[in-house]
């Protein structure tokens, strides 16, 4: 069963079907967009799977961006208590981040990704040719996560990005392949050590808790996820600097790279009180404490849950007003 | 968050709350009955969990029979990609079977338990005192699964049941405790070797594929699950005998024990063609072959997927007409 959406289907579904040859392939085409990442949409996939009477040896092929992958992966996780699925990511964000690691799920009116499962795909097939049809803005959003890997894990990747960010935006095939390969290798290394996000995996949330406030305050309409993460990384670097963990030059490096990747650097002026409230509602918050991923240097992250509240407020005020 | 239903809540919720003392406990009371074992009911539990803002360290307590345990366990499996839950089974069937082993899920209009997850409980607390309020018919239905363990795994348990079935029906506390303890030990041993039902765990489906036809043909209204399993065990023994795997005496032992446990021994006359069709639609069927759990002797089961079709038809005709 190929699960895809109405944006990707006209571009790649026929090619995928041709590649699958004579196999018995059904399809389920979802309405596109994060607003359909709901339990109701998953319920529709269940109906399609039951309607086609897929057995436990059936496989779901998730063809599309992160939203399709999250929804289809979650449907595969629950259908008959778990059948196999393959990620066929067609956006840079999905190729470098969401397709790898087994996090699947949907949103709830009360919060993003509140309903889901850990369910590893049988395989992730990232065809970089599909990036040729990706809008520039979404390509940049994907680069935010690549920058993230450099920040929290790999100083060489950070150096490499500074030399190659223009080639990436020009969709140089070799540069894209390197960025995707390196990102997946890092994510696999981290998730391989901590699949269920008990500790280490949390470093991959660098920029995400601040970014969550940006996305939530703007109703998930104004910023792509990667754009919000880019703003969040700048804020996390700002706080790391206020706490004396990194110097000003490191913060400026990140901001410069974010800017050159075509990503925003100025957050919406939602006010620090609202931002703090939204950060507290993020599901990564445990028992009231806002755990933050901060930097200790290029390629070195730390999960910090105790810090002077004044420092966080200063960061929020500087960026959110 | 205690999840229970409107039948069990008046009986045991206050006692559970008292036992939990000063802890921060929310509750979610479901409408009772298999007809509410749906994704919609699970969605309501998600709303309650989000409404109470349970974090990843929150715990679901499933207080009730198998339906409550299956639904609440599945909600716990998916909320925030999996939080802990504790099974507090209040029926014999749940105490000896469904609360142990980590199978959770709900029904789909196209079939039972088609949507679900493997999610092991943190603990299973079977308080045999709760069986005092269980109707006789449901007690007998639970005994069907105990008989099943004897048939497929433990000849001593089968002998013991023949000596103690009357004491069990009289709710003798020591007899019930022994039956529950032994059943859970057997189930844990089997599931411990094959959690995801790749091979061994399938033997616990003894009687279930035939029983599925009984339940489905009667719209899940006329027979309790255990009653259908009882009929299914008699049919599976009948087929085992036709295939020369067991002798007539062994088949009669099972039928006699089923009868003494207060369970039905005559199947509804739904016709063999309809029965075969319904068995084919069971989710345990892989790629068209009906795999059946048959007996090779007392306490010895075999999963058989190749057998003369005529033998199966003869069994179906003898029981379903």
Give chain B's domain count.
2
Q: Are residues A27 and A170 in the same domain?
A: no
The yes-or-no answer on residue A107 being catalytic is no
Q: Are residues B205 and B98 in the same domain?
A: no
pLDDT in tens, A246-263: 999 999 999 999 999 999
Rounded to whole angstroms, the Cα distance separating B126 from A312 reads: 48
Q: Do B115 and A79 touch (CB under 8 A)?
A: yes
Boundary of a domain, candidates B102, B130, B158: B130
Q: Tell me the residue range of the domain where A71 lies.
A: 2-132
Q: Are residues A119 and A166 in the same domain?
A: no
pLDDT score, position A207: 96
Q: Are residues B100 and B148 in the same domain?
A: no
Q: Which residue in A81, A132, A163, A198 is the catalytic one?
A: A81
Q: Are residues B106 and B144 in the same domain?
A: no
pLDDT score, position A220: 82
Global pTM reads 0.92
Contacts of B301 (CB under 8 A, 6+ apart): B151, B152, B153, B203, B206, B293, B294, B295
Q: Are residues B67 and B141 in the same domain?
A: no
Q: Are residues B196 and B107 in the same domain?
A: no
pLDDT score, position B168: 98
Q: Are residues A60 and A121 in the same domain?
A: yes
Helix axes B248-260, B136-152, angle to 10 degrees: 160
- Which residues of chain A have a pLDDT value below 50? none
Boundary of a domain, candidates A132, A150, A175: A132
Q: Are residues B156 and B101 in the same domain?
A: no
Q: Which residue in A107, A205, A253, A319 is the catalytic one?
A: A205
Q: Are residues A189 and A310 in the same domain?
A: yes
pLDDT in tens, B30-84: 999 989 999 999 999 999 999 998 988 999 999 999 999 999 999 999 999 999 9
pLDDT score, position A121: 97
- State which residue of chain B sits closest to A110, comparing Cα positions: B50
How far away is chain B from the Cα of A174, in angstroms, using its nearest Cα? 36
pLDDT score, position B59: 98
Q: Are residues A72 and A59 in the same domain?
A: yes
Among A54, A115, A285, A305, most B C-beta atoms within 10 A, so best to mutate, is: A115
- Which residues of chain B have a pLDDT value below 50? none
Spatial contact of A12 and A63, defined as CB atoms under 8 Å apart: yes
- Supply the CATH number for residue A282's domain: 1.20.1090.10
Dihedral angle sign, alpha carbons of residues A22, A47, B108, B123? positive
- Supply the CATH number for residue A86's domain: 3.40.50.1970
Q: Do B55 and A108 touch (CB under 8 A)?
A: no
Using CB atoms, pick whichever of A57, A115, A283 lies closest to residue B78.
Answer: A115
- State which residue of chain A sits closest to B82, comparing Cα positions: A117
Q: Are residues A277 and A151 in the same domain?
A: yes
pLDDT score, position A223: 95
Interface ipTM: 0.91
Q: Do B82 and A53 touch (CB under 8 A)?
A: no
DSSP state, residue B98? I
Boundary of a domain, candidates B80, B113, B130: B130
Spatial contact of A82 and A76, defined as CB atoms under 8 Å apart: yes
Q: Which residue in B103, B148, B182, B319 is the catalytic one?
A: B103
């Amino acid at each position: 069963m190929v699960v895809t959406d109405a944006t990707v289907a006209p571009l790649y579904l026929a090619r995928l079907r041709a590649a699958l040859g004579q196999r018995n392939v059904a399809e389920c085409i979802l309405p596109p967009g994060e607003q359909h990442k709901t339990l109701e949409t998953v319920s529709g996939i269940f109906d399609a799977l039951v309607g086609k009477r897929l057995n436990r040896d059936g496989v779901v092929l998730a063809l599309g961006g992160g939203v399709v992958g999250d929804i289809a992966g979650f449907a595969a996780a629950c259908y008959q208590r778990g059948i196999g699925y393959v990620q066929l990511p067609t956006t840079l964000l999905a190729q470098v981040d969401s397709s790898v690691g087994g996090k699947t799920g949907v949103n709830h009116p009360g919060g993003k990704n509140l309903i889901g499962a850990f369910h590893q795909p049988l395989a992730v097939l990232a065809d970089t040719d599909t990036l040729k049809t990706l809008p520039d803005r979404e390509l940049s959003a994907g680069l935010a996560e690549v920058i993230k890997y450099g920040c929290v894990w790999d100083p060489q990747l950070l150096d490499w990005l500074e030399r190659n960010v223009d080639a990436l935006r020009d969709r140089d095939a070799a540069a894209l392949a390197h960025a995707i390969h390196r990102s997946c290798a890092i994510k696999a290394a981290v998730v391989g050590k901590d699949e269920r996000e008990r500790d280490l995996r949390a470093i991959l949330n660098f920029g995400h808790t601040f970014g969550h406030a940006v996305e939530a305050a703007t109703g998930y309409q104004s910023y792509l996820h990667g754009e919000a993460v880019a703003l969040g990384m700048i804020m996390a670097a700002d706080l790391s600097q206020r706490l004396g963990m990194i110097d000003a030059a490191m913060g400026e490096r990140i901001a410069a790279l974010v800017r050159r990747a075509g990503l925003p650097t100025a957050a919406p002026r939602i006010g620090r009180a609202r931002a703090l409230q939204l950060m507290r509602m993020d599901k990564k918050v445990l028992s009231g404490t806002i755990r933050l991923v901060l930097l200790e240097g290029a390629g070195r992250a730390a999960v910090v849950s105790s810090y002077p509240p004044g420092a966080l407020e200063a960061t929020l005020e500087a960026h959110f007003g």
